[in-house]
Structure 1
Amino acid sequence: MLFHSSLRKELSRSFGATLVVLVTIVMTMMLIRTLGLASKGSVNPSEVFLVMTYTVLGYMPTILSLSLFIAIVGTLSRMYRDSEMVIWFSSGRGLADFLEPLFRFAWPVLALIAVMALLGWPWANSQTIGMRTQYERRSDIERVTPGEFRESSGRMRVFFIDKDTPDGATATNVFIWAVERGLQITTSARSGRIEDVGNNRYLMLSNGQRLERPLLPTAGLKISEFETYGTRAGGNAALSGDTTPARAKPTLQLLREPGDASRGELAWRIGMLLAAINFVLLALTVSSVNPRVGRSGNLLFALFAFVVYYNMLNLGQSWISSGRFGMGSFMLLLHGGVLLIGVAWLVLRNNNWGRRRRTEHVIAGGLPSHQPTKIDPTS
């Protein structure tokens, strides 16, 4: 009982500290990335923190797996360095006896990883994609801030308005500069309003003037006045077809939809849980450290193993989605192979086969030289 409680208590402290650090790092990185998207006009600036929160929630399976892996490796490496493992081994505990307390501690984390990978990941992606799509589909006049020059969604037009209404559909003193069909077109009007025509949105200008100038100075200017003039405002009133990516679809929908893309996404989601289970086993085997040597090399090797395993998950998703591998065969090869390696490595360390063979070889080879020499007293 003391063995289990002391180990789980230290694992809890290490896991909590690691999780806080990783979440802080990921939140900082996502904040910088989201601010960059907002500056490019891909994300609503007022929804930056909301998009960042959804993105971090989507990465929680990876964060939890890495936190669990680092916590186990760090805790067991410290126990090796402080010779606590020698005490437990001397009391009759083997390395395989650590599996039970490790999985008792890890099972709530593994359950949370399964929930976040199967439910949280698609929900967070759907929310993020929905907000970005809605913001990108807004009309050009809705992109404009009164008193500021702003580019359109295609970056081929520049808008300026003096004032707008609270609903953002009507504006006064509209100025538009655009490049179309080899012409520089400057349009100004007293007012403008948004109208939906079919699946498209148009900006209807009233009481204005239109100036057309060719990019190459081969012809003169063309000036025209109008009472009403319509121009494409950008953004569709409705989208046709299902353009939702696989990462934003619920798991049940992926199970019902045949296709390589659905199988690839399912392999990644289920693989996150299987990888987390294998990480517990691998952490137990790679945490052995020489007390006379620093543990930095051990941690670096553990992080390298995590990066390779995680990249293989992403690569496998790409291979399955492109039809190069089957879902079952790839998962069996990757996760089953890692499980076999972990079990074989654990058995090797638990029984100390390598050390025992070296010891038996030394005893067998050196025994004759240590036998006492008999001396004849009559000689």
Structure 2
Amino acid sequence: MLFDSSLRRDLARTFGATLVVILTIVLTMMLIRTLGQAALGRVAPQDVVLLLGYVALAQLPTMLSLSLFIATVSTMTRMYRDSEMAIWFASGVGLSRFVRPVLRVSWPVLLVVALLALFVWPWMNARSAELRERFERRSDLSRVTPGQFQSSRDGRRTFFIERDSEDGRTGRNVFILTAQADKESVTSARSGHIENTDDDRFLVLDSGQQNEQNLRSGDKTLARFETYKVQAGDRVLSSADAPPPKARPTIELMSEPTPAAQGELTWRLGLTLGAANLLLLAIGLSATQPRRASNWNLLFALLSFVVYYNLINLSQAWVAGGKAGMGAILVTMHGGVLLLAIALLWWRDNGTHWSLRRHTGDGGGSGKGRLKQRLQEACKK
């Protein structure tokens, strides 16, 4: 009882602290990246916080698995260095006995990882795609901040306007700089408004002029107009009818045997199986020498985590590319890692006994005889 309670308490405390640190680092990096996308005009500034929440949900399964893995390795490494493991081993408690209390602490986290990977991940990708698509469907005129120059989505136009309506469809003192391969034009007008024709959007300018220059010949043309219509943005296709595999529900992927759907399903299942396998690996990789003041086992454990998760990403590409089947990848990769974790636990429990037998000789009688002979020789001396 003392064994289980003390291990669960230390593991839960270390897991909470590790998750807070990793979550803070990842959220800071994602916030900087999202703000950069907003500054470049790829996402709406008012959707930054919402998009950051979606990105955090997308990275949460990996963060939970990594936090649980580091917490297990750190807790058991501390027990090795404080000689607690030596006490438990001397009491007849093997390393495989630690699997039960570790799983009792970790099973809620593993369940959350499975739910996030199988259900929340596609929902989050669908909502993120809707946010980006909604922003892309906005006209180039509505993206411009009054009194500031800003480029269009394709980078070929630069706008400057003063808005006089709340819906963003009408503006005054409009300035447009259009740069193409062989010509450059500057268009200015007193006012302009947006008109929608089918799936295209046009900016209709009133009372203005256009100064066009041919970059190859150097010829200049000045034209005045009462009404001028220019396309305000390229047609944006909706992804609601054909969403990507990462935005489709897991049940829908199971009913579709295409390579892309199978690859995405392999990745989602791989996150869940990988979290459980890494938990068993962490118990075996935490062994260290108490007299050796180094963190090589922790570094090796982190390297194992990176390699394993890169293999999970590669497995998605292999299945999506038709190089391997989903069942073969799941059984070969994750089954192999499970066997490796079990073999490591067995070796930690029995490797020491075999080493002692090898040094003392094969069989108990010969070992005792040699030990008795050495003691007699030492007494004679």
Q: Same fold (TM over 0.5)?
A: yes
Counterpart position of 2:80:
80
Query: What does 1:273-352 correspond to in 2, within 5 Å?
Result: 273-352=272-351
Counterpart position of 1:9:
9
Deviation at 1:188, TM superposition (A): 1.4
**C-alpha distance in 2, partners of 1:209/1:258?**
58
Stretches of structure 1 lacking an aligned partner (at least 5 in a row): 374-379
Counterpart position of 1:58:
58
TM-superposition CA deviations, 1:214-238 (whole Å, max 9, x none): 112343x222222221111014376
If the length of structure 1 is used for normalisation, what is the TM-score? 0.93
**C-alpha distance in 2, partners of 1:295/1:124?**
41
Deviation at 1:326, TM superposition (A): 0.8
Conserved 8 A contact 1:61-1:117: yes
**C-alpha distance in 2, partners of 1:124/1:316?**
22
TM-superposition CA deviations, 1:120-144 (whole Å, max 9, x none): 2122222222212221221110111
Going from structure 1 to structure 2, the CA distance change for 1:135 and 1:176 (only over 3 Å counts) comes to same
Deviation at 1:370, TM superposition (A): 2.2
Deviation at 1:34, TM superposition (A): 0.9
Going from structure 1 to structure 2, the CA distance change for 1:372 and 1:160 (only over 3 Å counts) comes to closer
Counterpart position of 1:376:
none
- Name the amino acid aligned to 1:142: S
Counterpart position of 2:23:
23
Conserved 8 A contact 2:136-2:236: no
Deviation at 1:351, TM superposition (A): 2.0
Residue 147 of structure 1 aligns to a residue in which SS? coil
Stretches of structure 2 lacking an aligned partner (at least 5 in a row): none
**C-alpha distance in 2, partners of 1:253/1:109?**
25
Residue 167 of structure 1 aligns to a residue in which SS? coil
**C-alpha distance in 1, partners of 2:205/2:239?**
28
Conserved 8 A contact 1:43-1:132: yes
Question: What fraction of aligned residue pairs are identical, expressed as a percent?
Answer: 49
Conserved 8 A contact 1:117-1:270: yes
Conserved 8 A contact 1:77-1:295: no
Counterpart position of 1:137:
137
Residue 206 of structure 1 aligns to a residue in which SS? strand
If the length of structure 2 is used for normalisation, what is the TM-score? 0.93
Deviation at 1:369, TM superposition (A): 4.8
- Name the amino acid aligned to 1:68: L
Conserved 8 A contact 1:140-1:152: yes
Conserved 8 A contact 1:136-1:235: no
TM-superposition CA deviations, 1:72-121 (whole Å, max 9, x none): 11000000100001111122211111111111111101100001111121
- Name the amino acid aligned to 1:370: R
**C-alpha distance in 1, partners of 2:128/2:151?**
23
